[in-house]
Chains A and B, each alone.
Chain A
Amino acid sequence: MQPARTDSRRPDPAPVASGYSLIVRDLHVHLRSRHGTVHAVNGISFAVKPGEILGIVGESGSGKSVAMLAVMGFFDREAARLISGSVTVGGTEWRELAAPDPWSSRSPELAIIFQDAVSSLNPVLTVGSQMTDTLMARQPKSGGGMPRPAARRRAAELLDLVRIPDAARCLDLYPHQLSGGMCQRVMIAMAISADPSVLIADEPTTALDVTVQSQILDVLLEIRQRTGMSIVMISHDFGVIARVADRVQVMYAGRIVERGGVDDIFSRPQHPYTRALLACSPRIDRGEQASQIIPGAPPDMRLAFAGCPFAARCAEVMGVCRRDEPALRPVGSGAVLERYAASCWLPRIADAGNGDGR
């Protein structure tokens, strides 16, 4: 099967210039499953600036993780029925997102950490040997690997950076001797060991207790501060996003339905889905909050549907919503991929997109 680039589809006008550490253009991911093809990601484009934390928020099945796994080049032709689009990172554009040899489709500028850090580590190797193996095998920016003693010193430095107390001792421990929070710190240290320009954090604190979550978020913020690394933070938790993100994009049914600066999204959400999701997020700082409920469940991504994917659950649904799918339309001025944007037919959004905006 050809890596289909459907030219009939008009992607978001993409930025030509650099100035971004990661640009994703018109990404589609359709996955094979036993029960049919899942249209997991349906034409999303976005970019991340150096040193920026982009929050991607959405419920399960919204495509937020699948999109970033595809950006990492983790899917092969076996799993993905269709995977198209391009990823530009470190000045190189990658069009083959599911190449036969996975290593050729992965950029050393990208690194990822996952929710379940404990099972992401090798249980039969010490923290030190996993970290030094990585450093010895690949240190892309300095070209080639390091000798073992240097790698071990570097590993200890990295563990210091993620605030592991007594880093030298930690190198000789096995993952099962560490708590979940410590394992996640080790994962972060390994992920940043190759000095990537973008760190993708896929629900890195979801499995952790809140006090530990707070510590890990501080570690990520500090790393961004010290290295200027960009972070793409995937989370279902609006609280986590509010705490760390500079910009936010909200995903639903494999699409970006709204994006903008963190203050805009939280104080002036436009899309009915974002509004409803925020209204029903349980909060510790509000007592008798209006108990708004989003009825129903997200659409089955194996089935085709017409119109806006949120129409069936939307309180403000109109006739056009069930017929035509709204595009993600920039509202206001600024660079296209950074501008406040939402995909909705409601006049307050659709009309704002036509004029000069705010």
Chain B
Amino acid sequence: MVAEPARAAGPASSAPLLALDDVTVEFAGRRRLGRPPPAPVRAVDRVSLRVDRGEILGLVGESGCGKSTLGRVIAGIIEPTAGRVAIDGRDIASYRGAERRTLRRMLQMVFQNPYGALDPRMRVDAIVREPLDANGIGSPGERRERVAKALGLVGLGAQHAMALPGKLSGGQQQRVGIARALVTSPALLVCDEVTSALDVSIKMQISELLLALHRELDLVYVFISHDLGVVRRLATRIAVMYLGQIVELADTASFYAGPAHPYARALLTAVPIPDPAAERGRARLLITGEVPSPSNPPSGCRFRTRCPFAQQRCTDEPPQLRQIAGARTVACHFPLIGADSG
């Protein structure tokens, strides 16, 4: 039996729990007979990011921006083409064999479609126990105990443990998905659109459950979502992605008070508010057109083709992420707030 993946095992406690340095992920395009090989699609392009203990990082952006791919890199499901992912200051590529399995238990993932993520022919208790079986954690008695505890944490009881996933509601299925992720006592949970398939009333039940688990278990989340309302409720910090890059990083309060990057501003103002009076008086930053292809991104700033404020410099020179005001970092030559001389 392998020892517990003690979080204290990490060397320097000053190192962030998760650090990404210049992480890039490329996917080869589909080859077709008689045609030149297509350019690889760069889904994630030189992303650097730190997530500390106690944080919930909201990773937001629209379809195809690379947020799910980045989540999979963080969870260790896919390996980056280039760059470095470190947990507690240690590069995860340096973990081998048994050590690597131990690492895997620290990093777990919950998926969007709860039903699709659960084997329809396995009972709930077996689904939740599977990570323990696969990793050889604990004796059969200990495994039973851990499964019961994980189910208890997500608000499911013994009557649910014997059920097949198909007999459960969408919200209950998502709770099973969370219990399965919790059973190995992870330090970091990557939640990929976990509330997106759920109805409003169930969405809030799951959000509140995640918040409670964050407090009780000292769990860190990378919470990937396109739902900026739910993200506001959960996240302590927000990272906005566009075409594979992070364009703005800010603490939740400053972000929702007004994003500095034009894309982030457009994204936030596009979300309708359930208040007709507020909607009528709302100033929107409208953007037109569609996201360009990630296999052939624009030169300079990737958002310039849709940006109402784009100038020549945006075509010539890609903006770097830089700190502008407070804990706010933005990749824009002409940010909407805190614009000291670029």
Q: What is A's interface to B at a CB cutoff of 8 Å? A: 59-60, 179, 181-182, 209-215, 217, 236-243, 245, 262-263, 266-267, 276-278, 280-287, 289, 291-295, 297
Contact = CB atoms under 8 A, between A and B. Distances in A.
B276 A263 contact: yes
Given A210-B267, A282-B229, A284-B228, A293 B272 contact: no
Contacts of A179: 290
B208 A278 contact: no
Contact of A210 (B226, B232, B290): B226
Contacts of B267: 210-211
Given A213-B270, A262-B276, A281-B274, A287 B256 contact: yes
Given A214-B284, A297-B169, A59 B200 contact: yes
Contacts of B228: 210, 284
B79 to A, nearest CB: 28
A343 B298 CA distance: 55
Nearest to A182: B290
Interface of B: 62-63, 169, 171, 199-205, 207-208, 211, 226-230, 232-233, 252-253, 256, 266-268, 270-279, 284, 286-288, 290
Interface centre among A181, A240, A278, A282 (most CB of B within 10 A): A282
Nearest to A288: B233
Contact of A280 (B171, B201, B253, B270): B201
Nearest to B287: A211
B270 A214 contact: yes
Contact of B199 (A60, A209, A276): A60
Nearest to A276: B201
B271 A239 contact: yes
Nearest to A283: B229
B274 A209 contact: no
8 contacts: A213-B270, A262-B276, A266-B275, A282-B230, A283-B274, A287-B256, A293-B204, A293-B208
A59 B268 CA distance: 24
B276 A266 contact: yes
Nearest to B282: A243
A7 to B, nearest CB: 36
Contacts of A217: 272
Contacts of B266: 211
A237 B205 CA distance: 17
A214 B272 CA distance: 8
Contacts of A214: 270, 272, 284, 286
B271 A267 contact: no
Given A236-B199, A263-B277, A291-B207, 6 more contacts: A213-B270, A281-B229, A283-B274, A287-B256, A291-B233, A297-B171
A181 B290 contact: yes
Interface centre among B201, B207, B211, B233 (most CB of A within 10 A): B201
A185 to B, nearest CB: 12
A284 B271 contact: yes
B277 A282 contact: no
A181 B290 CA distance: 9
A282 B276 contact: no
Contacts of A212: 62, 290
Interface centre among A182, A210, A215 (most CB of B within 10 A): A210
A242 B205 contact: no
A239 to B, nearest CB: 3
A46 B227 CA distance: 32
A263 B288 CA distance: 30
Contact of A284 (B63, B171, B268): B268
Pick the 7 closest A-B CB pairs, nearest first: A282-B229, A239-B272, A238-B274, A209-B62, A294-B201, A214-B270, A59-B199
A242 B272 contact: yes
A280 B230 CA distance: 10
Contacts of A284: 228-229, 232, 256, 268, 271, 273
B278 A293 contact: no
Interface centre among B203, B229, B277 (most CB of A within 10 A): B229
A295 B204 CA distance: 10
Interface centre among B200, B274, B275 (most CB of A within 10 A): B274
B292 to A, nearest CB: 11
Contacts of A276: 201
Contacts of B284: 214
Given A236-B199, A280-B201, A209 B63 contact: yes
A242 B273 contact: yes
Contacts of B279: 239, 242-243
Nearest to A62: B199
A59 B204 contact: no
Contact of A277 (B201, B230, B277): B201
A283 B232 contact: yes
Contacts of A292: 204
Interface centre among A236, A243, A289, A291 (most CB of B within 10 A): A243
A241 B275 CA distance: 9
Contacts of A241: 274
Nearest to B206: A293
B229 A242 contact: no
Contacts of B232: 282-284, 286-287
Contacts of A295: 205
A283 B273 contact: yes
A118 to B, nearest CB: 13
A265 to B, nearest CB: 9
A64 to B, nearest CB: 12
B132 to A, nearest CB: 29
Given A209-B63, A282-B230, A282-B233, A239 B201 contact: no
Contacts of B229: 239, 281-284
B271 A293 contact: no
